[in-house]
Structure 1
Amino acid sequence: MRKWLYRLFIELTNHWLSSKLLASFAKSRLSALLIPSYAKVYHINQEEMEKSLKNYKTLQQLFIRRLKAGTRPIDADERAVVSPVDAVIEAMGIIEEPWEMTVKGKRYSIAEMLGGEEAAQPYVNGFFFILYLSPSHYHRIHSPISGVIEKQWTLGRKSYPVNRLGLKYGRRPLEKNYRLITEVKADGKRLAIVKIGAMFVNSIELTHEGDQLIKGEEMAYFSFGSTVVLLFERGSFTPDPNVAAPMPIKVGERLGYWCQQSDGKGNEGGRGRRNLSTL
């Protein structure tokens, strides 16, 4: 009964008109009246914001706020894969055959998530992370590694909640929600960065230009809280033993290690690129 009521409520409210109205309100000057209470309810850390609260003229501006320089140190280890977002690690583990992840007791297909078995095949027996952003989080997305964007595509239309209730009772939101997928290649291996839209608001805006990504560099932002899924090829990644689910994490903090290949001259791939020490 609880699952049925939850799904009914979401279907009734997740309509194109309600989505449009919510987005329009968040961008309106009228929404500024809610900024002080929003900041209080969600415990927004105003000390790290680029601007003071009074300088945000709409709720949407607050959602996509930038942080002061140096607020998010980026792990300097060349092999470190860092969190692309401020989030909660909701799940992590091995991608099992055929193309499945287990999240909150439910099995999700990465073939459905990525749009087909061919796209999913490189990630079988690899590793995954589910990183959930609440409305309180900083919503900008940064690159977890340095590499080259090989492919980028979108899938899905509607967006259902991706919080714990959504993952437990929803209609497979990780597979069905609107999502923007960026596939990055480094040292001959691939990483899929799957940015998943949240309830009502599908807006995922790209801010990065060109094909080259630098670890810690901003690449996009959500207009509302949402989820990022990271998919690693088999043998390309080793998780940090101190990382577990559930736990909070911030941009630039280490998730684990990229398994680099030698270039045949005693040097590891990826050297020579610019390193960022802070955000």
Structure 2
Amino acid sequence: MNNIQYIDRKTGNVLTEKVPGEKWLDWLYHNPVGKLALDWVVRRKFLSAWYGWYMDTHDSSKMIEGFIKCLNMKMDEVLRPLNDFKSFNDFFIRELVPGARTVDLNREAVVSPADGKVMAFEGFRGLDTFFAKGQEFSLDRFLQDKVLSSKYEGGTMMIIRLAPVDYHRFHFPAEGRVTRSRLINGDYYSVSPHAVKDMLSVYWENKREYCELRTENAGDILLCEVGATMVGSIVQTYTPDVVVGKGQQKGWFKFGGSTVVMLFEKGRVRVDEDILRNTISGYETSIKMGERVAMALG
């Protein structure tokens, strides 16, 4: 199995991601016996639900220090002291100190809703630069709403993947009026590149929630949070049908790797050139919440 490599946005260097349980993922998604376990156990709700429950228990707090050490995490951004966390999930959805993330307040700037690694596809073209050839993204299956899928047909898709090491709260990428969230139940496949490269359908087979953000400059933006293996739950903390600010918190993921998908209407935004260039070359780009990812075209 190839290492997961990505482009560090600040330096332009190619880096290798450290993946917890990498050998386990390789076995699940590339070994015939592992694939049986994947279909019969791992993708099922009960395993992720049980693990999510355990991560809320006080006993799970024993895992925090080992997790930090294994992934060489920097703790200077974390708001609360380490001994203040009562469970692993309490640590996992940690808040950051004020000012840890800078939100680009340029009126035309659309920012990343989360920390992670980003890819972008204009007109849904070029998917085979990252995913295995022959796969197409099904908007109809992803949204389960033909009227809505036709609205975003030919537009731009941005995928932000959160690894377990990342800050796991997600935010609004622009100012606008937000609709109520719609839940679509599904499976719990991994969203690691080891899984999705050969299985694009993960995005419309996994549990997910989406809403629309109606903006003045960038049109309507569809925001979708996608669950994954061992994600206990997706928690929405915003109030629907109100105007929200750029960078305002929308919610959080409990334990596990997760993904935020953004859809833009055709001709409403221009994705930053470095993100497009890296995607075409088959790389994700590191991103922080609040960094600009696109410009509104009015």
Fold match (TM-score > 0.5): yes
Q: Describe the superposition over 1:70-128 as per-residue Cα deviations: whole angstroms up to 9, x where unpaired.
A: 00000121110000000111x3112349xx96551332212211113211111112111
The one-letter code sitting in structure 2 at the alignment partner of 1:8 is L
- Could you tell me whether the CA contact under 8 Å between 2:270 and 2:297 is conserved in 1? yes
TM-score by length of 1: 0.85
For 2:263, the equivalent position in structure 1 comes to: 231
For 2:42, the equivalent position in structure 1 comes to: 13
- Cα distance, 1:53 vs. partner? 1.6
Selected match of 1:218 from 225, 249, 252? 249
Number of positions where the alignment pairs a residue of Structure 1 with one of Structure 2: 257
- Could you tell me whether the CA contact under 8 Å between 2:48 and 2:188 is conserved in 1? no
The one-letter code sitting in structure 1 at the alignment partner of 2:260 is V
CA distance in 2, matches of 1:54, 1:233: 45
For 2:147, the equivalent position in structure 1 comes to: 118
Selected match of 1:42 from 58, 71, 81? 71
- Cα distance, 1:149 vs. partner? 1.4
- Cα distance, 1:259 vs. partner? 1.9
- Cα distance, 1:154 vs. partner? 1.2
1:250 matched to 2:288? The reply is: yes
Gaps of at least 5 residues in structure 1 are 261-279
CA RMSD of aligned residues (A): 2.1
Q: Where do 1:87-102 residues align within 5 Å?
A: 87-89=116-118, 91-96=119-124
For 2:131, the equivalent position in structure 1 comes to: 104
1:62 matched to 2:91? The reply is: yes
1:201 matched to 2:231? The reply is: yes
Q: What percent identity do the matched residue pairs reach?
A: 25
The one-letter code sitting in structure 2 at the alignment partner of 1:212 is V
For 2:15, the equivalent position in structure 1 comes to: none
For 1:271, the equivalent position in structure 2 comes to: none
TM-score by length of 2: 0.80
Change in CA separation of 1:2 and 1:122 when aligned onto 2, cut-off 3 Å = same
Gaps of at least 5 residues in structure 2 are 1-28
Selected match of 1:179 from 208, 216, 224? 208
CA distance in 2, matches of 1:5, 1:111: 32
- Could you tell me whether the CA contact under 8 Å between 1:158 and 1:202 is conserved in 2? no
- Could you tell me whether the CA contact under 8 Å between 2:177 and 2:215 is conserved in 1? yes
- Could you tell me whether the CA contact under 8 Å between 1:157 and 1:178 is conserved in 2? yes
The one-letter code sitting in structure 1 at the alignment partner of 2:244 is L
Q: Where do 1:69-84 residues align within 5 Å?
A: 69-84=98-113
- Could you tell me whether the CA contact under 8 Å between 1:160 and 1:170 is conserved in 2? no
CA distance in 2, matches of 1:137, 1:131: 11
